[in-house]
């Protein structure tokens, strides 16, 4: 087998060297103590935690007091959504959410709707590219809407969303805005103030900080109720803080943001070449969302007539890691809700594979993928037994728009 190739950075980015170095420094010092302790060891840990919070806040355009540490991006999303609804005035009981959000957002709101009959959850539509329909969303706004939730970058297609534009329209009605920025942080500049978001969430492992830390920015003046009561995190999230994870996250975010433009340009060239050559070599292949602004690293490509899972397994046997969509949904038999919301037929959604690149990827790796993938797709098409077949010869490659 050739050297292993990792093209699933949207699931989890490899540990950044800066985060690893931060961990090694902490390990040499036998790790920090409990930052709530009043002795010298605890106060040393408190200083490390404070510096990490200040660094992360500055990089996200927030103040240190607005940054809350959680255990994951999922917890940050749940805390933001449930906390905002719990603290809201009774007159506002409608929540708007786009149909392409991460399962942690959609699942949390669906559960909330079942538990709270007085709260109405409504979907906001996206167009065929996967971009929020702003005019349609605007028509849903009103004085009874408490919150709108719109991600910054989609985890499956990489399509960027008009968060700042929606925020302007929502603010005119006094509506809170939640933005899941998990896929954007570390891949592009993210400024919570410029976005106009009241609540912004992210997960450390998406930008190379390792697992175990989520970020929630709660803009000053915004009230949310805690899910885990306790004195930590200004009373918003109980539990002893994970100082090591916070320090690693600050180091990783500072390092990635320092080269975000140059690295984004490099990765975009690799992604565009992969996409262009696959669409030319694989009959009928098409890239979802290619006509919209996207993250520089993400490509969701449909191979009609093939089972996407079969293609993923075939690539895995060649040592190439990709996915059929969100890693959180791996192993499910349901087609991507993101693609269905875009109007993609179910059969095509099941034939879609996501490639998400990162700092570790090279031209030689793209060469290898292009070498093996066309035949893997052809084989998957030949062996597909439960996937309706299409005449891909008549379709030809779909053009991409950049």
Report the SS3 class of residue 351.
coil
Q: What are phi and psi of 255, to 5 degrees?
A: -70, -45
Nearest-5° angle of CA 189, CA 194, CA 199?
95
Among 204, 114, 115, 157, which Cα is nearest to 337's?
Answer: 157
Q: Are strands 320-321 and 5-6 parallel, antiparallel or unpaired?
A: parallel
Distance CA 323, CA 352 (A): 9
Give me the catalytic one of 189, 268, 328, 384: 328
Distance CA 349, CA 352 (A): 5
Which residue reads 């010092």 in tokens?
Answer: 29
Neighbours of 240 (CB within 10 A): 13
Report the SS3 class of residue 84.
helix
Q: What is the largest CA-CA distance in the chain?
A: 74
Kindly give, in sequence order, each residue whose CB lies less than 8 Å from that of residue 87, ignoring residues fewer than 6 positions away.
223, 224, 225
Q: How far is CA 307 from the centre of its chain?
A: 24
Report the SS3 class of residue 137.
helix
Q: Are strands 176-180 and 145-149 parallel, antiparallel or unpaired?
A: parallel
Whether residue 179 lies in the annotated active site: no
Buried b (16+ CB within 10 A) or exposed e, 146-162: bbbbbbbbbbbbbbbbb
Buried b (16+ CB within 10 A) or exposed e, 247-260: bbbbbbbbbbbeeb
Nearest-5° angle of CA 196, CA 201, CA 206?
125
No. of helices (H) and no. of strands (E), the chain:
14, 12
| Sign of torsion over alpha carbons 140, 143, 149, 153 | positive
Active site residues: 328
């Amino acid at each position: 087998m050739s050297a292993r190739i990792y093209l699933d950075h949207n699931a989890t980015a490899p540990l950044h060297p800066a985060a690893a170095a931060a961990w090694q420094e902490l390990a040499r010092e036998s790790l920090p103590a409990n930052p709530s302790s009043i002795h010298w060891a605890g106060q040393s840990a408190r200083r490390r935690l404070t510096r990490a919070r200040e660094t992360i806040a500055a990089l996200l355009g927030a103040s240190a007091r607005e940054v809350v540490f959680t255990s994951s991006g999922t917890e940050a999303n749940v805390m933001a959504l449930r906390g905002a609804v719990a603290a809201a005035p009774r007159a506002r009981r409608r929540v708007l959410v786009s149909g392409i959000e991460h399962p942690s957002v959609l699942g949390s709101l669906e559960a909330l709707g079942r538990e709270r009959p007085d709260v109405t959850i409504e979907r906001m539509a996206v167009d065929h590219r996967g971009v929020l329909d702003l005019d349609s969303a605007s028509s849903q706004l009103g004085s009874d809407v408490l919150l709108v939730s719109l991600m910054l970058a989609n985890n499956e297609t990489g399509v960027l969303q008009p968060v700042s534009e929606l925020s302007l329209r929502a603010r005119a009605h006094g509506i809170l805005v939640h933005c899941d920025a998990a896929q954007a942080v570390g891949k592009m500049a993210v400024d919570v103030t410029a976005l106009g978001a009241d609540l912004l969430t992210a997960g450390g492992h998406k930008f190379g900080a390792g697992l175990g830390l989520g970020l929630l920015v709660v803009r000053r003046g915004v009230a949310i109720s805690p899910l885990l009561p306790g004195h930590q995190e200004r009373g918003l999230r109980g539990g002893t803080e994970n100082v090591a994870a916070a320090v690693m996250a600050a180091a990783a975010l500072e390092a990635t943001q320092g080269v975000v433009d140059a690295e984004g340009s490099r990765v975009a060239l690799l992604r565009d070449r992969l996409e262009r050559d696959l669409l030319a070599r694989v009959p009928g292949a098409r890239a979802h969302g290619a006509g919209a602004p996207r993250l520089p690293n993400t490509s969701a490509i449909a191979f009609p007539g093939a089972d996407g899972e079969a293609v993923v397994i075939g690539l895995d046997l060649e040592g190439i890691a990709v996915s059929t969509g969100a890693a959180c949904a791996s192993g499910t038999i349901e087609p991507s809700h993101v693609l269905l919301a875009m109007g993609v037929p179910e059969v095509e959604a099941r034939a879609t594979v996501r490639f998400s690149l990162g700092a570790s990827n090279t031209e030689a790796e793209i060469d290898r993928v292009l070498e093996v993938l066309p035949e893997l797709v052809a084989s998957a098409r030949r062996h597909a037994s439960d996937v309706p077949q299409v005449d891909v010869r008549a379709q030809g490659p779909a053009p991409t728009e950049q």
